[in-house]
């Protein structure tokens, strides 16, 4: 498995008590597999992605990415594994206003120390794969919400990750554009053999994924919850 979370417990301090955000959660996603995590607001979905991205260290349990057990790894090794193997797409695009679409991607390669020539070829290929080849010189304010989210996704793929983690990518989009984004993620997952985990509140898009999981009060279970009430 490309991404393995085993028996993860994560708590946050909550006044003089603790809040259990992840309660013995296990999750395995293999290459080319598109998994979706649904569940109400506050159930622990973003916390799960933060642990998978090694941005937060859980109280207990193991995280392994691309065959490397990171449970006891130091900060430097976690940062390196994250940079080399993990792409993260946050809910908001977080693009830099002063940079063109192409440059948003090139910044990533620059940080990873890649040669400018290889990087620019790869960035153009990726913009093409998200159907933005003709928008490479546009700044974020010249792009629609859906286009910005596609730049965001292309940027997350810039360092050829094996694991792609996506937090509510459709929350700022109308239904049709949301479906297009999820369909694009499904396509990229299969074509690039990614292990993708997408957090979503949009039950209509679950038909496009391989595995549906539901988070409820910090516990993860298989299958979709049928009632849509309380989803956010």
Q: Are 15 and 50 in contact (CB under 8 A)?
A: no
Of 45 and 78, which CB lies nearer to Mg ion in the complex structure?
Answer: 45
Instruction: Output the smallest distance, CB 84 to ligand ADP, in A.
Output: 25
Tell me the pairing of strands 163-167 and 195-199: parallel
Residues in region 31-70 near Mg ion by CB under 5 A: 45-46
Residue 207 interaction partner, one of Mg ion, ligand ADP, none, beta carbon < 5-8 Å per kind: none
Of 68, 92, 61, nearest to 168 (Cα)? 92
Instruction: Output the smallest distance, CB 147 to ligand ADP, in A.
Output: 25
17-29 sheet: strands from edge to edge: 17-29, 3-14, 60-65, 68-69
Provide the 8-state DSSP code for 231. B
Residue 214 interaction partner, one of Mg ion, ligand ADP, none, beta carbon < 5-8 Å per kind: none
Q: Which residues contact 126 (CB under 8 A, 6 or more apart)?
A: 105, 154, 157, 158
Q: Are 214 and 220 in contact (CB under 8 A)?
A: yes
Tell me the pairing of strands 60-65 and 68-69: antiparallel
Of 46 and 129, which CB lies nearer to Mg ion in the complex structure?
Answer: 46
Contact letters (x/-) for ligand ADP, 34-73, by CB under 6 A? -----x-xxxxxxx--------------------------
- Does position 21 interact with ligand ADP (CB under 6 A)? The reply is yes
Instruction: Output the smallest distance, CB 62 to ligand ADP, in A.
Output: 19
Q: Residues interacting with Mg ion, by CB under 5 A?
A: 45-46
């Amino acid at each position: 498995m490309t991404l393995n979370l085993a028996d993860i417990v994560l708590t946050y301090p909550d006044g003089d008590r603790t809040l259990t955000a992840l309660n013995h959660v296990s999750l395995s996603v293999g290459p080319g597999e598109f998994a979706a995590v649904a569940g109400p607001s506050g159930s622990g979905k973003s916390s799960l992605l933060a642990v998978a991205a090694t941005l937060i260290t859980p109280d207990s349990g193991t995280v392994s990415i691309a065959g490397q057990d990171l449970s006891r790894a130091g900060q430097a090794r976690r940062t390196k594994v994250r940079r080399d193997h993990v792409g993260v797409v946050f809910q908001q695009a977080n693009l830099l206003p002063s940079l063109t679409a192409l440059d948003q991607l090139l910044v990533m390669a620059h940080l990873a120390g890649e040669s400018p020539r290889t990087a620019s070829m790869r960035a153009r290929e990726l913009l093409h794969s998200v159907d933005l080849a003709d928008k490479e010189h546009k700044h974020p304010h010249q792009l629609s919400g859906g286009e910005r989210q596609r730049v965001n996704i292309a940027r997350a793929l810039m360092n050829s990750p094996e694991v792609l983690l996506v937090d509510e990518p459709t929350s700022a989009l109308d239904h049709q554009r949301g479906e297009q984004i999820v369909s694009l993620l499904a396509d990229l997952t299969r074509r690039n053999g990614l292990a993708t985990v997408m957090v979503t509140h949009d039950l209509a898009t679950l038909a496009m994924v391989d595995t549906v999981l539901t988070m409820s009060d910090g516990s993860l279970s298989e299958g979709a919850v049928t009632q849509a009430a309380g989803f956010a």
